Structure 1
Amino acid sequence: MAGDQNGERAQAEHRLEKLRASAPKGPAARERSNGDGLKKNAILDCGWGRLVFGQTFSDQREIANSLREEGPDRRDIAFYVKDPHVLLSHAPQELFLDPSHTYRLDLSTYRPSTRRPRGYFIRRLASEQDATEVNRIYQSRNMVQVHPAFFWTNRDNRALTYFVAEDETTGAILGTVTGVHNRRAFGDPENGSSLWCLAVDPQATHPGIGESLVRRLAEHFQARGCAFMDLSVMHDNDKAIGLYEKLGFVRVSYFTVKRKNEINERLFTGPNADYEGLNPYAQIIVDEARRRGIHCEVVDAAGGFFRLTHGGRTVLCRESLSELTTAVAMSICDDKSVTRRIVEGAGVKVPEQIDGDSDDDAIKAFLEKHGQIVVKPSRGEQGRGISVGIETLDEAKAAIKAAKEQSPQVLLEACFQGDDLRLIVIDYRLVAAALRKPPSVTGDGRASVRELIEHLSRRRSAATGGESKVPLDAETERCVKQAGYAMDDVPAEGERVVVRKTANLHTGGTIHDVTGDIHPALVEAAVAAARAIEIPVTGIDLMIKAPQLPDYVFIEANERPGLANHEPQPTAERFIDLLFPLSMPFSVRAARSQQRKSLKED
């Protein structure tokens, strides 16, 4: 437990340092009063940036000047802009009309839901640790972070309200929403309110978290006599718009204007047809390359192929697989039995293993010795054909048959009880580490296991751009049966059912960053495995007891790891550093050179 706390503290301190330079200065709100009514030129600091209330400005040039004051790594928003064309005319090169819709909920007719949250509850943000967790969710959603101290120092700010969703069992923060009381922010004569920064952890498994947060905020403002609650939502966010319309929101004619910056670049540069169709694993690399001025040519979008050119050097890639990875290294990763022999020779711990074509007596003896085993194809990817927790000869035979659909050679391994850890090693350095957890569903007393799985698959697919869902196949049925259920059984409310034993993202697993909490022995094992294979970019999979402990066994090496799965860790940045070292800023190159020199001297 102490290790967990130290790891969380270290990660929190790291995030705090990154944000310290952009910590809020001065009061949260700035305005000039115009008597007892509407405040003039009202601006509210929300931590991630400022809300500039357009209806409080009589001169559109003053709004433009206010947006010009936007700080680095901030996102200021001019809201309630009635004449955006006039505002844009004052700074056409600096400002843009945000492609979002404004929606309004009439709180006089709003009725709370009779269904309450299940497995989690909504409460006020109550500590700096809550603030750190909110920032973690913001990061996972590519949103601007807020200095943790801002949340805490503004906890009594009557204009700002923060709610979080907390898991009843684990205490984890699952989502967050921010509310603004318009009368307290700028003396709104209409006595309205607004919703901002609704975000749900993409790894959360409970249904309805976003809806519960919206309802809680609406009920909060309704109880305080507010007439309505507004929000701004991207025009193409059909899922969110569907939720808001279901709750009774309707579109209103107010507009949002922002200052052009790197954060919102994609909103004003328009779509680039050359990069449409790339999957998230290719897109994250192409985006980083383009930020550095590296020319990108899409060779085959559907397959994730692209060519990068910079300073006379050209590299062809397929997602994180580049020409720098040799065919020999690829062939080693492709055959799990070869991978095992290579890394074992380098001193990396591997599980005991036998061939899937062994006779029944040998398989029975292997089962008796280890209790549970893993059956997997010698060649394959994305968890296809892998069965975990096999306990009987009949189960083993069925699993071997399924595995042979992926590869003629099948391997049987001792089952190491623990967690699945993926370590991203680039240029023989650890860049990211994440626990991969198998998919599970939580009963609500009404839906069957099958229905819960289908619902989970829809959420996982939406959160990963269609990359993740739980297959309704024989392996899922076996795992559900092993948990004591049939697919059409209805689990009791709060009952958790693990529906797959493998933790692959593509089969519905979730991924949880633990980069700041890894035992050195695990890092050494991953780097040793990468060096043994001589592969410059790889995802090393280990089974571990805990990230803070040295116990592990090697599972496999992936020659094309999904870098997008490890945001906000700088996986794409380090990949481009490897391919094009001269694209790094000079200060970074100098520091890297000095670090290598020190290591050699040691």
Structure 2
Amino acid sequence: MSVPKDPGDLRDQRRKKASGLRLNKRGGSLEHWAARAPSSPMHPSNSEVVVECGWGNLVFAHTYDSASAVARDLEAESRGRRNIAIYVRDPHVVLAHKPQHLFLDPSHTFRLWLANAALARPLRLLPFTVRRLRTKADAEAIHRIYLARGMVPADPAFVWAHRASRALTYFVAEDDASGAIVGTVMGVDHAEAFEDPEQGSSLWCLAVDPDAYAPGVGQMLVKTLAAHYSARGRAFMDLSVLHDNNEAISLYKKMGFKRVPVFAVKCKNAINEPLFVNDVPGPQLNPYAQIIVDEAARRGIRVDVLDAGHGYFRLTHGARSITCRESLSELTSAIAMSRCQDKRVTSKLLAEAGLRVPEQREADGSDADRAFLKRHKAVVVKPADGEQGAGISVDVRRLRDLRAAIKRARAEDETVLIEEYCPGEDLRIVVIGFKVVAAALRRPPEIVGDGNATIRALIEKFSRRRSAATQGESRVPLDGETERCVAQAGHKLDDVLPAGQRLQVRKTANLHTGGHLKDVTATLHPALRTAAERAARVLDIPVTGLDFLVPDVTASAYVIVEANERPGLANHEPQPTAASFVDLLFPLSHSPEDPHAQAAD
């Protein structure tokens, strides 16, 4: 992202392009290339270069002769997309043309000079592989990660169509164990896009799945893209990062990137709003309340924040006004709420309705507790009234551990339940208006050894990544339950985990204790969908998150473990949970077409 060394030289280069003179070993004008490759994302103009990226256009402002033309092409963005003008020589002049519609991006540009960059792959074994995009499933995974990160998505069809593009390059990081795509990055080759005389390149859309457990995914994607452009003979690779993203800036500096005086200009729109509107002073809503508030505000529904710290707000549309605490609203009765809060009542009602639930008993310290453990061989211990995974111990097998688990659970609620342990995958199904709107497998937190760090240090590093990805909502507590799970696998917290070895450090898959989710809405078996909707009607609750244990989401077998009266809707993006919730509250409100998303770079 640099200003050309001599603007006059660049004009000469443009004139040569217009005449079709070859400038490098590939040669050819943009018209020549466009004729040869009709699917190319390049703008057909010689002197005003625009590269379409799927989520919007990159306007290479230093190829323009006038600031007004830059402003014109920047402002011509489509709904739900974002254009970015980069390498703006005179940003103040561009802004002067459209002061009400454009703003100066508050990001820094960093440059890596590729000739001197340390791009060697690490000696230690990584649990993931960085490779070029190869399949349509890769393109769909890129779309999913963009959405999970709140970025403007690129149509998978666009990404797939440009998999062999010389101007655009896509890399993905694939988990070696599961085959899942856990990260992605896109690069733009300036020499291919407009025969850049400086032989530059730039990095865009670096995104790591918030549920990725392995460290270093983003760093390896950056290094791989840099090595790719180095092999092409490019001189440098630029990237843009928000000025206050100190963690990312620190990483880029360690990798050898240097700050350069390069500017970008963007449009004032809903997507970019956080970049040009000052933060509202005072306490901020948590992600579970904010996702609903954002959806309501986009529909023109009035929002009054009543207690930001606890997630209370009031929504008003016309003569109708409803108070909510996150996804719990006045539409949920006190009776329905009490049924969900007391897990004994939940289990009893569902069992009486013919739905499958695990056997359970109330812990009383008698021989009956021990007999229950002996009969089932493994049990779950949990408080009768609890949330966010607090006080829950899973797969308890020994009497000593049973006593300790009961003590932990009793710290959350006086009444403690011992429940039959049913192996299977932890499935959360969100039901709104008695219809299933989202389903996700909840996976317990897992670390991967590197042969150097202790298990304790790996857990702390994992927690920092999860906390950053969830706005502080998720981290693995270093408590007795974590220590028990580590010990059950034959380790201690201060042991060094061998390189490549995976270790599940909690048995519960709750988000707040480090778990993560994988969306399975599209593959949910009809029997599970029916059971969830029936359970919601039995409990008479309009919004609920039902926890299932299933051997396979595509099969009909299940048990229902519990129901949550205040499910975290933000955990299930990109499924339309917030939209469905606001539809329930205000059926006549209008849902806008374009998604509210964050920056794409």
Question: Structure 2-normalised TM-score?
Answer: 0.90
2:351 corresponds to which residue? 344
Contact 1:438 1:503 in 2 (8 A): yes
Shift of 1:568: 0.7
- State the 1:252 CA deviation: 1.4
Q: What amino acid does structure 2 have at the position aligned with 1:32?
A: S
Displacement after TM superposition at 1:97 (Å): 1.8
- Is structure 2 residue 298 aligned with structure 1 residue 302? no
Q: Which amino acid aligns with 1:52?
A: V
Quick one: which of 43, 53, 61 aligns to 1:30? 43
Residue 150 (structure 1) shift? 2.2
Once residues 381 and 247 of structure 2 are traced to their aligned partners in structure 1, the CA distance between those partners, rounded to angstroms, is 39
- More off after superposition, 142-151 vs 180-189: 142-151
Range 220-229 or range 399-408, more displaced = 220-229
Residues 400 and 500 (structure 1), Cα distance of their counterparts in 2 relative to 1, 3 Å cut:
same
Q: CA deviation at 1:174?
A: 1.1
Correspondence for 2:566: 560
- Aligned with 1:163 (options 161, 168, 171): 171
| Structure 2 residue identity aligned to 1:334 | Q
Counterpart of 2:299 (choices 292, 307, 324) is 292
> Which secondary structure does the structure 1 equivalent of 2:220 belong to?
helix
Please name the residue that 1:468 is paired with: 474
After TM superposition, give the deviation of residue 357 of structure 1 in Å: 0.6
**1:314 corresponds to which residue?**
321
Paired with 2:82 and 2:178, the residues of 1 have a C-alpha distance of 33
Is 1:208 matched up with 2:216?
yes
CA gap of 1:267–1:447, structure 2 versus 1, over 3 A, is: same
1:87 aligns with 2:100: no
Q: Which amino acid counterpart does residue 155 of structure 2 have in structure 1? A: H
SS in 1 for 2:103: strand
Equivalent positions of 1:509-588 (< 5 A) are 509-584=515-590
Q: 1:235 aligns to what? A: 243
1:267: how far off?
2.4
Distance in 2 between residues matched to 1:76 and 1:447, nearest whole Å: 43
In structure 2, the residue matched to 1:499 is 505
Summarize the alignment of residues 391-406 of structure 1 with structure 2, pairs less than 5 Å apart. 391-406=397-412
**Partner of 2:49: helix, strand, or coil?**
strand
Distance 2:336 2:291 in 1: 24
Letter in 1 for 2:378: Q
Change in CA separation of 1:318 and 1:585 when aligned onto 2, cut-off 3 Å: closer
Distance 1:456 1:32 in 2: 48
Spell out the pairing of 1:168-179 with structure 2 (5 A cutoff): 168-179=176-187
Question: Which amino acid letter does the alignment assign opposite residue 176 of structure 1?
Answer: T
Q: Which residue pairs with 1:112 in the alignment? A: 119
1:26 is displaced (CA, Å) by: 6.1
What SS does the aligned partner of 2:115 have?
A: coil
Aligned mates of 1:466, 1:313 — CA distance in 2 = 33
How far is 1:579 from its partner? 1.1
| Secondary structure in 2 matching 1:340 | helix
Cα distance in 2 between the residues matched to 1:268 and 1:403: 47
Match of 2:276 in 1: 268
Cα distance, 1:585 vs structure 2? 5.8
Give the partner amino acid of 1:118: L
Take 1:155 and 1:548, find their aligned partners in 2: how far apart are those partners? 31
Give 1:38-187 correspondences, 5 Å limit.
Answer: 40-113=47-120, 115-116=122-123, 118-187=126-195
SS in 2 for 1:205: coil
Residues 136 and 160 of structure 2 are in contact (CA less than 8 Å); yes or no, is this contact kept in structure 1? Answer: yes
Note if 1:333 corresponds to 2:340: yes
CA contact (8 A) 1:518 1:547 kept: yes
Provide Cα deviations, 1:218-262, integer angstroms capped at 9, x if missing partner: 111122221111111122222221211111212211111122333
Answer yes or no: is the 8 Å Cα contact 1:48–1:146 preserved in 2. yes
CA distance in 1, matches of 2:237, 2:416: 59
Cα deviations across residues 384-418 of structure 1 (Å, max 9, x unaligned)? 11111011212111111111111111111110100
The separation in 2 between residues aligned to 1:378 and 1:65, in whole angstroms, is: 61
Q: Which residue of 2 aligns with 1:600?
A: none
In the TM superposition, residue 154 of structure 1 has moved relative to its aligned partner by 2.0
CA contact (8 A) 1:469 1:506 kept: yes
Q: Which has the higher contact order (CA 8 A, sep 6+)?
A: 2
Tell whether the 8 Å contact from 1:31 to 1:186 is kept in structure 2 after alignment.
Answer: no
CA contact (8 A) 2:39 2:162 kept: no
| CA drift at 1:98 | 1.8
Distance 2:302 2:281 in 1: 15
RMSD (CA atoms): 1.7
Q: Distance in 2 between matches of 1:108 and 1:329?
A: 65
Look up the equivalent residue of 1:234 and give its one-letter code: L
Distance in structure 1 (CA, Å) of the matches to 2:320 and 2:373? 53
How far apart in 2 are the matches of 1:378 and 1:129? 42
Cα deviation for residue 483 of structure 1 reads 0.9
Kept in 2, the 8 Å contact 1:424–1:431? The answer is: yes
2:18 aligned residue: none
CA distance in 1, matches of 2:235, 2:358: 64
Change (3 A) 1:427 1:114: closer
Post-superposition offset of 1:31: 4.0
TM-score by length of 1: 0.89
Question: Please, which of 432, 437, 443 is the counterpart of residue 431 of structure 1?
Answer: 437
Return the alpha-carbon distance in structure 1 between the equivalents of residues 161 and 320 of structure 2: 50
Kindly provide the CA deviation profile for residues 39-72 of structure 1, in whole angstroms up to 9, marking residues without a partner as x: x111111222111101100111111221233223
- Whole-angstrom distance in 1 between the partners of 2:592 and 2:70: 38
Instruction: Tell me the residue number matched to 1:3.
Output: none
Instruction: String of CA shifts for 1:323-345, please: whole Å, max 9, x gaps.
Output: 11111111111111111112222
Quote the residue 1:259 is aligned against: 267
Q: Does 1:408 find its partner at 2:414?
A: yes
How far is the alpha carbon of 1:270 from its aligned partner?
Answer: 3.3
Q: Which amino acid aligns with 2:276?
A: F
Secondary structure in 1 matching 2:554: coil
- Contact 1:363–1:393, Cα closer than 8 Å, also in 2: no
Residue aligning to 1:247: 255
Partner of 2:33: none
One-letter amino acid of the structure 1 residue matched with residue 574 of structure 2: P
Matched residues in 2 for 1:439 and 1:51: separation? Answer: 38
**Contact 2:61/2:86 (CA < 8 Å) preserved in 1?**
yes
Q: Secondary structure at the match of 1:258?
A: strand
Tell me the distance in 2 between the aligned counterparts of 1:193 and 1:427.
Answer: 49
Distance 2:61 2:102 in 1: 14
- Correspondence for 1:8: none
CA contact (8 A) 2:299 2:592 kept: no
Alignment partners' CA distance in 1, 2:166 and 2:443 = 40
Residues matched between the structures, number: 555
User: Is there any run of 5+ residues in structure 2 with no aligned partner, and where?
Assistant: 1-37, 594-601
Judge which range, 378-387 or 257-266, deviates more: 257-266
Q: SS of 1:288's equivalent?
A: helix
- Quickly say closer, same or farther: Cα 1:149–1:310, change in 2 above 3 A: closer
2:204 partner SS: strand
Cα distance in 1, alignment partners of residues 69 and 141 from structure 2:
36
Unaligned runs of 5+ in 1: 1-24, 34-39, 588-602
